[in-house]
Structure 1
Amino acid sequence: MRAITYDRFGSAGEVLTLEEVPTPSPAEGEVLVRLKTSGVNPSDIRARAGGRPGVVKPPFPKIIPHSDGAGVIEAVGAGVPADRIGERVWIWNGQWQRAFGTAAEYIALPSAQAVRLPDETTFEEGAVLGIPGLTACHAVLGGGSVEGKTVFVSGGAGTVGRLAVQVAASSGATVLASARGEEGLEAARTAGAAHVFDYTDADLADRILDATGGRPMDRIVEVEFGRNAETNARIVAERGTIAAYGSAKDMSPQIPFYPLMFKAVTLDLVLVYLLDEEERRRAVENLTSLLTRRALDLRIAQVLPLHQCAEAHDIVAEGRRAGSVLLSI
C-alpha cells in the first residue's frame, strides 16, 4: 500500500516520504480500514517536528503519521462480527502510541477505534471527528448538560473552537465567544455565539460581563489557558469549570490560584487521547447525535492528495487555513 512515512524529526519537506509498505492484516479484535481521507492536526505537526516535551527521537523506527481519518472496513480479525465489513467508519487515536496512523491507504486497529459514520456524514467530514470533534464535544459536554447555562468559548473561530460554539449552542446553552478580526468574529457568530468579542481587547472581561448583565460563565472552553487565566478567573462562575485544551503561547503559566479557589473552580485539562472508556463513549454518543441532526458545520479548508502531505503539514503549521486540512487517499 502507499503510505507517508518518516523515521526522524525535522521539517515536513525533509522527512516525510511517500513509499510502498506492506498492507497490514487485522489481528484479533481489530478491523482493517480502507482509508478515504486523513486529517492533519497541529498535534501531528508537533509529533513529526519533535515538538513534544521530553521526546528526543521518534518512538518507533518508522512512523505513518495522523490520528484522524475515515474510510470503509474491508476485513475483520477474530472476534469481530463479520457484518462490520463494508461499514463506513471514522477513526480516533489512529497514531496515538502506535507506529502506523492514517496517512496511508489502509490502517488496522482495534475495532472500537473505528466508529460507524452516520449516513449523513461524508468521508471528508469524518476525518475531522477524531481530535477536533471529540475535543469540542468533551470540552463542552464532558461535565454534563449545558442546557440553560452560559458557555464562553475562547478562540471561537478556530477548528475546535468553532465546533465547540456549535456543540454548546445546539445543546441549549447561551454561547459567548472570542476571536480576532472581522472574519474570525463572523465565523464565531455564524456558528451560534450570541455575543462575540475581540480577544485582544484590554477590557475583555468587562465587555463579556456587560453583555450578560453581570452573569458569569458556567463553563469556559479555553484554547490558550496561560494567556487567558486572569480573564477567565474574573468571568467564571462560582463552581464553574474551565475546560482547557491548549496553552501553546504560554506553556508554563502562572495561574491566579486564590481567585479561582475562592470560586471553587474546576480546571479540566482536556486531552482526548486519554479519555477513559466512559468519557469516550459519552463523547462519541454526543458527537453522533449532533451529526445525525446535522447540527455541525464541519468546515473543510483544503483537501490535498496523499503525495502532498508535506504541503498539508506546512499549511497547518503556518496557520494558512480557515478550517481543517485533509488528505484524499
Structure 2
Amino acid sequence: MKAIIYRETGDAGVLQLVDRDLPAPGPGEVRVRVAVSGVNPTDWQARSGVAHRKQFPEVTPHLDGAGVIDAVGAGVDPARTGERVWLLLAAAGRPTGTAAEFTVVPADQAVPLPGEASFDVGASLGVPALTAHRALTVAEDGPRRLHPGALDGKVVLAAGGAGAVGHAVIQLARWAGATVITTVSGPEKARLAAAAGAHHVINYKGDPAAGIHGVAPDGVDIVAEVALGENLPLDLAVLRPRGTISVYANDGGAPVDLNVGRNLVLNTRLQFLVLFTAGPQARAAAVEDVAAAVRAGALPVGAEHGLPLLRFPLDRTADAHRAVQAGAVGKVLVDVTCG
C-alpha cells in the first residue's frame, strides 16, 4: 500500500511517499481503507516537533479520516466489514495515522458514517467537531451532552468562526438550540460564518464589544476561544457572570494578561481543553453526540456550508501540511483512495 511517513521531525519536506505492507488488525481493531484524510494543525505541529514528542521511529501522520472497514480483528463483529466510517485520533499514541491507503485503529475509533454523509464530512469531523463539543459542554450552568434543545436560551460566541473548529462550534451550538455569535476579520469570512449558521456575525476590527452587547445585552454564556492572548479583553467585556471561556488554542501566540480582579467579579470559568487528555468519558460522549448531529445532517461541509474544502492528492501531502500551517481558510483534505 502507499503511505506517507516521516522518520525525523522538521518542515514538510520530511514527509515521504513510500510502499508499505498491508497492516493486519489485532484484537479489538479494524482495518480501514481510507478514502479521505483530514489535516489539522496538530498534525503539522507533531511532524515539526513543535508541540509533540516523536514516539516512534517511523510515523504515518493524521488523526482524522474516513473510509470503509475492510477487515476486523478478533472480538470485533464481522458484520462491520464493509461499513462506512469516520476516524478519530488514529495517530494518537500509534505510529500509523490516516495518510495511507489503509490504517488500523481500535474499533471504537471507527464510527459509523451514514450513507447520506460524504467521506468529506467524515474526514472533517474528528478533532474539530470533538473539540467543539468539548468547548460547548464544560460550562458551570450548561449541559454535559449536546442534542436539540440542550443549549436553549444560551448565547455562544465562536471566536474566529471561519476556522474548522469555529465552524463546528457554530453548527453544533445552533443544532443544540443556542443563539450563536461569531467574530471575523472581513467580509469573506463573514459570509462563511453566516453560511455555517451563525445568527450574528461581527467584525472584530470595529467595536466588537458594542456589537455583541447589541445582540446579547445580558452577556455571553460560552466563548469558544481560538486566540486567548489576543481576545481575552473582549471575552471579559462580553461574558456574563459565571460564564465560561473554553480555550482550545492561542493563535498568534500573544501572551495572556490575566486580570484577576475582573475574573473574580465575573466568577469566570477559564477552561483549557485538548482531546488527548480530556478523558475517555468526555471523548465517548462527544463521539455519540457528534454522530447524532451527523445523522441529523447538522454538520455539512463545503463552501456553501461555510467550510471550503482544499484538496490534495496523497503524493502532495507535504503541500497540504504547508497549507494548514500557513492558515488556509477552510478544511484541508488529502484524497487517498476513491472508494
- The residue number in structure 2 matching 1:52 is 51
Matched, 1:117 2:113: yes
* In structure 2, C-alpha distance between the alignment counterparts of 1:36 and 1:322, rounded to whole Å: 19
Matched residue SS, 1:71 = strand
- The residue number in structure 2 matching 1:228 is 231
CA contact (8 A) 1:316 1:325 kept: no
CA contact (8 A) 2:157 2:180 kept: yes
Deviates more, 1:286-295 or 1:88-97: 286-295
- The residue number in structure 1 matching 2:334 is 326
- The residue number in structure 2 matching 1:24 is 23
Matched residue SS, 1:119 = coil
Deviates more, 1:263-272 or 1:135-144: 135-144
* In structure 2, C-alpha distance between the alignment counterparts of 1:175 and 1:250, rounded to whole Å: 26
* In structure 2, C-alpha distance between the alignment counterparts of 1:269 and 1:29, rounded to whole Å: 32
Matched residue SS, 1:285 = helix
Matched residue SS, 1:226 = helix
- The residue number in structure 2 matching 1:104 is 100
Matched, 1:302 2:307: no
* In structure 2, C-alpha distance between the alignment counterparts of 1:34 and 1:111, rounded to whole Å: 14
- The residue number in structure 2 matching 1:316 is 324
Matched residue SS, 1:283 = helix
List per-residue Cα deviations over 1:41-93 (Å, max 9, x = no partner).
1111111112116x4xx321101000001111111111111111111111111
CA contact (8 A) 1:103 1:327 kept: no
CA contact (8 A) 2:36 2:333 kept: no
Matched, 1:174 2:176: no
- How many angstroms does 1:251 deviate by? 6.0
- The residue number in structure 2 matching 1:2 is 2
- The residue number in structure 2 matching 1:40 is 39
Matched, 1:95 2:91: yes
Deviates more, 1:138-147 or 1:41-50: 138-147
Structure 2 unaligned blocks of 5 or more: 144-149, 303-307
* In structure 1, C-alpha distance between the alignment counterparts of 2:124 and 2:138, rounded to whole Å: 19
Aligned letter for 2:285? Answer: R
Aligned letter for 2:51? Answer: R
Matched residue SS, 1:177 = strand
Superposition TM-score, scaled by structure 2 size: 0.90
Matched residue SS, 1:38 = strand
Matched, 1:146 2:142: no
- Tell me: CA distance 1:70–1:206, structure 2 relative to 1, closer, same or farther (3 Å): same
* In structure 2, C-alpha distance between the alignment counterparts of 1:225 and 1:250, rounded to whole Å: 9
* In structure 2, C-alpha distance between the alignment counterparts of 1:32 and 1:142, rounded to whole Å: 33
- The residue number in structure 1 matching 2:146 is none
Matches within 5 A, 1:269-284: 269-284=272-287
* In structure 2, C-alpha distance between the alignment counterparts of 1:322 and 1:29, rounded to whole Å: 34
Aligned letter for 2:163? Answer: G
Deviates more, 1:2-11 or 1:284-293: 284-293
* In structure 1, C-alpha distance between the alignment counterparts of 2:57 and 2:225, rounded to whole Å: 35
- How many angstroms does 1:102 deviate by? 0.6
- The residue number in structure 2 matching 1:209 is 213
* In structure 1, C-alpha distance between the alignment counterparts of 2:238 and 2:278, rounded to whole Å: 27
Matched, 1:191 2:196: yes
Matched residue SS, 2:174 = helix
Matched residue SS, 1:32 = strand
Structure 1 unaligned blocks of 5 or more: none
Superposition TM-score, scaled by structure 1 size: 0.93
